[in-house]
Amino acid sequence: MLRNLCQKMFGRSLWVYHANSGGCNGCDIEVLNVLTPYYDVERFGIKLVGSPRHADVMLCQGPAMRSTARALRCAYDAMPAPKLVFAIGGCACGGGIWHDSYPVLGPVEKVIPVNFYIPGCPPRPEAIIYGVAVAVGLVDKKVSPVEFKQLQMPIPRYHPSDLRGEGEMVVYEKAEKI
Amino acid sequence: MSLTSKFKEAMVGLKAGRVTLDYPAHPRPVPENFRGRPIFDAQKCIGCAACANNCPAREILVLDVCQEVRILKYLGRRCTYCGRCSDVCPEKAITMSHEFETATNKISDVHQRLDLFMSTCQRCGRCFKETSPLEQLKLKGYRFDDLENERWIFRSRSFLESEPLVDDIKIELD
């Protein structure tokens, strides 16, 4: 549904605004690398603009810091209505390595709603292009959650209190019940 | 500027050819030593939680629901792909794959969750590391990280909940 909405809303081209709220500039360099002729993202009509008022998409890098969260929120509110937010990098997706320190509030989604996540530290330029292509609808997303569940519990009925020491050996009294 | 120099410039420009990658249409192989998303092998994992103790981003959570079952959850959101978990894993259950196309619209897509069947240590109930040998004898070291709020909890505890999630042996509080 979101993809159909994206294709309807952003039919022609995305203008991106590049917001760094306290990252280490690694993701910034990768985003600017995406805009170079080698990974030419203007093939998809993506253009970097300097003001959030001109932008459709906000590329967030860095966690929401205590000092920049308000500015990030203001920049998000300044964007015109059909807007997307990309969280690029481990800091924007999950708060980064210093997610529990004092100046870091946490991931960007604590301050503004995030539509697409591109984890990585920093993500490869191909990964950023892939995220944009997922958003535009060119490709499908590849990841899915992995769960290994114990459907049946093969639990032997024993407990450490049932152990009895006999000299050097530890004997398990209820061993025959397993 | 003469006409020949312009011609030379044009030849240089033509010689470079087209450098742009046709990336989303054609796959791009990564270098051989590239570290991507870690993949957890539930068959090899023994549940020692060395990866959880060594993760710099506090990314792997461990929850003991009962004496026998330990849940290991990898969040994947702030992972820096440093590869330390695969280095410390004694059973080589974690491999750093070449996956990098992990862009999603739901962050829970990158989670990995293993329910591990743990056997009981015949001496202490559960093997763990504590500060003094006396505490090692006294405590058992169950981990109770908060899976719902995705929070790492820094203490281990010596007893399980009185009402475990899995209805199993009632374990006395000590």
Q: Per residue in B108-135, pLDDT tens?
A: 888 998 888 776 666 655 555 455 666 5
Q: What is the pLDDT of residue B169?
A: 41
Write the residue in A94, A129, A147 that is nearest to B77 by C-beta: A94
- Domain containing residue A18: 2-136
Q: What is the pLDDT of residue B172?
A: 37
pLDDT of B10 above 70: yes
pLDDT of B47 above 60: yes
ipTM of the complex: 0.75
Average pLDDT of chain B to the nearest whole number: 77
Residue A10 lies in a domain: yes
Q: What is the pLDDT of residue B57?
A: 87
> Alpha-carbon distance B136 to B156, whole Å?
12
Residue in chain A lying closest to B116 (CA): A150
Residue A98 lies in a domain: yes
Mean pLDDT, range A150-163, rounded to an integer: 54
Into how many domains does chain A fold?
1
Here the CATH number for the domain that contains residue A51 is: 3.40.50.12280
Burial class (CB in 10 A: 0-12, 13-18, 19+), A176: exposed
Q: What is the pLDDT of residue B22?
A: 84
Residue A100 lies in a domain: yes
> Alpha-carbon distance A111 to A106, whole Å?
9
Residue A53 lies in a domain: yes
Q: What is the pLDDT of residue B168?
A: 42
Mean pLDDT, range A35-40, rounded to an integer: 88
Residue in chain B lying closest to A2 (CA): B105
**A143·B110 Cβ contact <8 A:** yes
SS3 category, B116: strand
Residue A19 lies in a domain: yes
Mean pLDDT, range B146-151, rounded to an integer: 79
Confidence band (pLDDT; 50, 70, 90) for B155? low
pLDDT of A78 above 90: yes
**A119·B109 Cβ contact <8 A:** no
Residue A132 lies in a domain: yes
Residue in chain A lying closest to B171 (CA): A159
Mean pLDDT, range B52-73, rounded to an integer: 83
Residue A176 lies in a domain: no
> Alpha-carbon distance A99 to B170, whole Å?
37
Residue A156 lies in a domain: no
